[in-house]
Structure 1
Amino acid sequence: MMKRYTPIMIWAILVAIAVSGLVTLTSRGPEIIFKSYPQSQQFQNHLTDIYDELGRTVLNPVDLEAVEKKLSVTPAEIDEYRTYYGSLAEQIDNIQIQYEDRIREAEAKATVKQALVDERDGLIEDIRKNFEDDTYVEEKILSGKKRQLAQLVQDYKSRTSALGIPIVYDLTPVEGGDTHKKGEVNDSFGYERMFTENTGYLKVAGLNSDLYGGNYEVSTYKDELYNVAGVALSSEDINAITPSSMLYKGTVAVPSSVFKQGGVLYEEVKDYKSIKIMLIMSGIASIGALIALFTVWKFKWTWFVDLPFTKRYDSLRIDLKAGIFLILLLSLLNFSREVSGRLNNMASGGYAFSIPNAVFIFALGAIVIALLAFQIGNAITRYQEPGTLENEFKNSYTMQLVASVREVFLNRSIAIQTFILLFGFFLAGVGFIFGLFEPMLLLIYAVFVLFLGFPALFIYIRRMGYLSRILKATDDMAAGRLNSDIKVIGRSPLAKHAVNLNNLREGVEQSVSSQAKSERLKTELITNVSHDLRTPLTSIITYTDLLKNPNLSDEERAEYVDVLDRKSQRLKTLIEDLFEVSKMSSGTMELYKQRVDLTQLVQQAIGEHTEKMAEIPLDFRISVPEEPMPAVLDGQRWWRMLDNLIGNALKYSLPGTRVFVTLRQAGGMAELIVKNITAYELNENVDELYERFKRGDASRHTDGSGLGLAIAQSIVDMHGGTMTIDVDGDLFKVTVRVPLA
Structure 2
Amino acid sequence: MDIKSKNKMRFFTWILLFTFGVSGIFTGICNGKDYMEKDYFHTQQFEDQLNQFVEYLKLFEFTHINKEDLKKKITVTAEEINEHRYRYGDLSTQTSNIKGQYGEKIKDALTVQNKEVADMYVAERDKKIADITNNFKSDDYVRAKIVEEKEQQIDQYLQEIESRRSNFMNDKALFRYYLKNTTTEEVYTNVDTTGGSVAADAAINDKSMLFIQNYPSEKYGELSNRVPSSLLNYNDVVTPLLEKGEVSTFEGKIGVPNGGSSTNPILVNYYDFLQKQKVFFIYVISSIFAFVLSLYLNKKRPVIQLIPTEKWQSYYNRIPLDVAGMTLVFTGFLSFLLFVVDNDLYIHQDLYKYSSGVVFRLMVAACLVSLTLIQRKFWVERAKERVNIKSDWQKSLLYRAYKGLREAFAVQRMGTQVFILLSVVFACGFGAVLVLAKNELILLYAPLFIVIGVPSFFVIIKWIGYFNRIVINTSGLVHGNIEPDLPVVGKSTLAVLAGNINTLKHGIKVSQKEQAKSERLKTELITNVSHDLRTPLTSIITYTELLKTPNLADEERNTYIEIIDRKSKRLQVLIDDLFEASKMASGNIELVKEKVDLVQLLQQALAEYNEAIKESTLQVRVTHPDTSVYAVVDGQKLWRVFDNLIGNMLKYSLENTRVYISVKPLRDEVVITFKNVTKYELSENIDELFERFKRGDTSRHTEGSGLGLAIAKSIIDLHEGNLDIEVDGDLFKVTVVLNIKES
Q: TM-score normalised to the size of structure 2?
A: 0.49
